[in-house]
Amino acid sequence: MQAETRTCPPSTREWATRRGAPRVLVADDQPEMRALLRRALLRKGYDVVEAPDGPGLVKAIVDGLMEQRTQGPDLIVSDVRMPGFSGLEVLARLRRDGWTTPFVLITAFGDAQLHADATKLGAACVLNKPFAMEDLCAAVEALVPPLR
């Protein structure tokens, strides 16, 4: 039986050598929230890709890897509760597969257990809704600075 060949995910610092803005993948099942996040991150100089739910998040990651010039996300911002797969489920799968891409979770249901689970899985940050957009932008900029 032949060993499976896997393409490693892009380095979390690959964006530093590319000629484009860092790519942030935003997943939230509320269109208004996605639009707010998109506008805020575009103003900060990021390339933003949106996903409407858990399966859309997975598809956006795969689509980025399949582009002619492979462009996986440099950072992922995801709601925790979404149809299909939760943000925690996607984070867990990416970490199991060896991805180190920074992951920021946002949630309206941020109890202590959720924060503990997210930290254990390797989330860089968990923000409870409602949060100040400045707090999200500061967290994103600390993890993946925009091009200046």
Region 60-87 average pLDDT? 90
Region 89-113 average pLDDT? 93
Q: What are phi and psi of 4, to 5 degrees?
A: -70, 135
Class for domain 21-142, per CATH? alpha beta
pLDDT of residue 48: 96
For residue range 27-41, list pLDDT tens digits in order.
999 999 999 999 999
For the cut 70, the answer to whether the pLDDT of residue 115 exceeds it is: yes
Region 97-109 average pLDDT? 94
**Helix-, strand-, coil-residue percentages of the chain, each rounded to 5:** 40, 15, 45
Amino acid at 53: D
Residue 98 makes CB contacts below 8 A (sequence gap 6+) with 8, 9
Query: What pTM does this model have?
Result: 0.85
Q: Percent of the chain beyond pLDDT 90? A: 75
